[in-house]
């Protein structure tokens, strides 16, 4: 194995993140991801956001539904403030470097690293032997997503921390094995009060688009009525809201609703409690429902408007893919050179 060469290389700040278009996006995706994606873009940082359709097919997807959900997710990004002119917004399969770099990284990563991933264990369930090979290799494709752009920062929810750590391990092993300082060691950005929005039916479980109970989540496409009803029925305990944040310890359902309020209102938990200490849920839930409807209503309306013009969405994704391709292809070519591939084809 070659000795690592110390060739310090500056990696300019570049943000990349992805979301699977494999179900309706939830309030968890909005608060934990989309809202923060728009904020990063507005801070003037270079931002790339990707609908990871190749990740989605690691479990079975109906093709027509997948196409529809990819457009819906694109609409959700734009309605949440991701501006396709300022950010690069596209779907993964239109940029070939994702798959091509994933293969190289498959050969850098170790099988044992993949088996340790909790998302794999959760998704594979009791019959891991019968899951797709893609589901096992999923994190190497995710590393390729990030490293194809030499992204330095990745905003995600708490559930993705382990995958980003693996991306760092893969980048470091590539750099070490080939004696280069080629890939950055990417930092996760897991910030804010909404890094883990929990289920409305069980405050110890993540709110997820794949939860069988629709009552457990607020979908970004829910009507105002549905949102209000779900919040009214959300699981709580009989105590009033406490005065301090510590008073929420051991009260996961109450804590979740306070967190959701804080994230929607751009407040801290303490500020929410300063306003609602001593309040019963009979008072707090309607206030939360009103706030959720006020914040999500305009986003849903904008999503519906965009969804009425699928050709326009496809055109936006195509333009984004071209811009992404222009960044990723030279990086992929460098990778091929580093690993010893002949590139003599005239293009």
Binding site for ligand TRP (CB under 6 A): 16-20, 52, 55, 142, 145-146, 154, 156, 160, 163
Least Å distance, CB 221 to ligand TRP, is 19
Catalytic residue among 35, 40, 150, 206: 206
Nearest CB to ligand TRP, comparing residues 16 and 284:
16
Pick the stretch among 2-10, 80-88, 97-105, 204-212 that binds ligand AMP (CB under 6 A). 204-212
Residue 229 annotated in active site: no
Nearest CB to ligand AMP, comparing residues 108 and 209:
209
Nearest CB to ligand TRP, comparing residues 73 and 306:
73
In the region spanning residues 4 to 23, those forming contacts with ligand AMP, defined by CB under 6 A, are: 19-20
The entry of ligand TRP, ligand AMP, none near residue 98 (CB within 5 to 8 angstroms by kind) is: none
Q: Which of 125, 166, 167, 176 is nearest to 145 (CA)?
A: 167
Catalytic residue among 209, 255, 285, 295: 209
Nearest CB to ligand TRP, comparing residues 18 and 184:
18
Pick the stretch among 82-90, 143-151, 152-160, 283-291 that binds ligand AMP (CB under 6 A). 152-160
CA-based torsion, 114, 117, 119, 123: positive or negative = positive
Interatomic CA distance for residues 309 and 225, integer angstroms: 25
Nearest CB to ligand TRP, comparing residues 73 and 227:
73
91 backbone dihedrals φ, ψ, rounded to 5°: -100, 140
Does 29 bind ligand AMP (CB under 6 A)? Our answer is: yes
CA 185-154-257 angle, to 5 degrees, is 140
Residues in binding contact with ligand AMP, number by CB under 6 A: 17
Beta pairing class for 153-155 and 88-91: unpaired
Does 262 bind ligand AMP (CB under 6 A)? Our answer is: no
- Token representation of residue 84: 């396709």
Residue 230 annotated in active site: no
The entry of ligand AMP, ligand TRP, none near residue 194 (CB within 5 to 8 angstroms by kind) is: ligand AMP
Half-sphere exposure of 324 (CA within 13 A, CB side): 32
Residue 206 annotated in active site: yes
Residue carrying structure tokens 């409690």: 273
Single residue of 159, 177, 290, 314 touching ligand AMP by CB under 6 A: 159
Q: Which of 41, 81, 36, 40 is nearest to 192 (CA)?
A: 36
Least Å distance, CB 242 to ligand AMP, is 23
The entry of ligand AMP, ligand TRP, none near residue 154 (CB within 5 to 8 angstroms by kind) is: ligand TRP
- Token representation of residue 332: 């992929």
Does 157 bind ligand AMP (CB under 6 A)? Our answer is: yes
Q: Which of 51, 36, 40 is nearest to 15 (CA)?
A: 40
Nearest CB to ligand TRP, comparing residues 156 and 264:
156
Applying CB under 6 A, the residues found at the interface with ligand AMP are 19-20, 28-29, 32-33, 156-157, 159-160, 194-197, 206-207, 209
Active site residues: 123, 206, 209
């Amino acid at each position: 194995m070659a000795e690592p060469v110390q060739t310090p290389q500056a990696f300019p700040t570049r943000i990349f993140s992805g979301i699977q278009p494999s179900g309706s996006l939830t309030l968890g995706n909005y608060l934990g991801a989309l809202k923060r994606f728009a904020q990063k873009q507005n801070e003037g940082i270079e931002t790339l956001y990707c609908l990871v359709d190749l990740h989605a097919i690691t479990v079975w997807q109906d093709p027509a539904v997948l196409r529809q959900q990819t457009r819906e997710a694109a609409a959700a990004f734009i309605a949440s403030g991701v501006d396709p002119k300022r950010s690069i917004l596209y779907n993964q399969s239109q940029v070939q470097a994702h798959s091509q770099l994933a293969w190289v990284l498959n050969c850098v990563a170790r099988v044992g690293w993949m088996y340790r991933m909790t998302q794999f264990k959760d998704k594979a369930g009791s019959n891991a032997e019968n899951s797709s090979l893609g589901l096992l290799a999923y994190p190497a494709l995710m590393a390729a997503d990030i490293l194809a752009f030499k992204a330095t920062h990745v905003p995600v929810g708490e559930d993705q921390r382990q995958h980003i750590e693996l991306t760092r391990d893969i980048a470091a092993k590539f750099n070490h094995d080939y004696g280069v300082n080629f890939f950055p060691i990417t930092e996760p950005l897991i910030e804010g009060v909404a890094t883990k929005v929990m289920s409305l039916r069980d405050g110890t479980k993540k709110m997820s688009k794949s939860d069988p109970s629709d009552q457990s989540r607020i979908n970004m496409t829910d009507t105002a009525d549905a949102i209000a009803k779900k919040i009214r029925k959300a699981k709580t305990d009989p105590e009033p809201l406490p005065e301090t944040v510590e008073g929420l310890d051991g009260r996961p359902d109450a804590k979740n609703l306070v967190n959701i309020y804080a994230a929607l209102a751009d407040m801290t938990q303490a500020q929410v409690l300063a306003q609602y200490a001593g309040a019963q849920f009979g008072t707090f839930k309607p206030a939360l429902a009103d706030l959720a409807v006020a914040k999500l209503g305009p986003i849903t309306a904008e999503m519906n408007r965009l969804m009425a013009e699928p050709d326009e969405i496809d055109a936006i994704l195509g333009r984004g893919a071209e811009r992404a391709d222009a960044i990723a292809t030279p990086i992929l070519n460098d990778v091929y050179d580093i690993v010893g591939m002949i590139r003599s084809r005239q293009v």
